[in-house]
Homo-oligomer: A and B are copies of this chain.
Amino acid sequence: MRRIRLVVAYDGTNYHGWQYQPNAVTIEEVLNKALTELLREPIAVIGASRTDAGVHARGNVAVFDTENRMAADKICLAVNQRLPEDIRVQSSGEVAPDWHPRKQRCVKTYEYKILNRRIEVPDKRLYTYHCYYDLDLEKMRRAASFIVGEHDFKSFCSAKTQVTDTVRTVYSLNVERDQEDVITIRITGSGFLYNMVRIIAGTLLWAGTGLIRPEEVAEILAAEDRRKAGPTAPAKGLTLIRMFYPDEMQEQAEKP
Contacts and interface: CB of A to CB of B under 8 A. Distances in A.
A85 interface: yes
A127 B119 contact: no
A88 B122 CA distance: 6
Contacts of A85: 120, 122, 125
B119 A76 contact: yes
Interface of A: 9-11, 56, 58, 76-77, 80, 85-91, 119-123, 125-127, 239
A9 B122 contact: yes
A193 to B, nearest CB: 25
Nearest to A132: B77
Contacts of A119: 76-77, 80, 88-91
B58 A121 contact: yes
A88 B10 contact: no
B86 A56 contact: no
Main secondary structure of the interface of A (DSSP, over half): mixed
A86 B9 contact: no
Contacts of A122: 9-11, 56, 85-88
Nearest to A77: B119
A4 B54 CA distance: 38
A11 B88 contact: no
Contacts of A121: 9, 58, 88
Nearest to A10: B122
Interface centre among A9, A11, A119 (most CB of B within 10 A): A119
Contacts of A123: 9, 11, 56, 126-127, 239
A77 B125 CA distance: 16
Contacts of A58: 121
Interface centre among A56, A80, A85, A91 (most CB of B within 10 A): A85
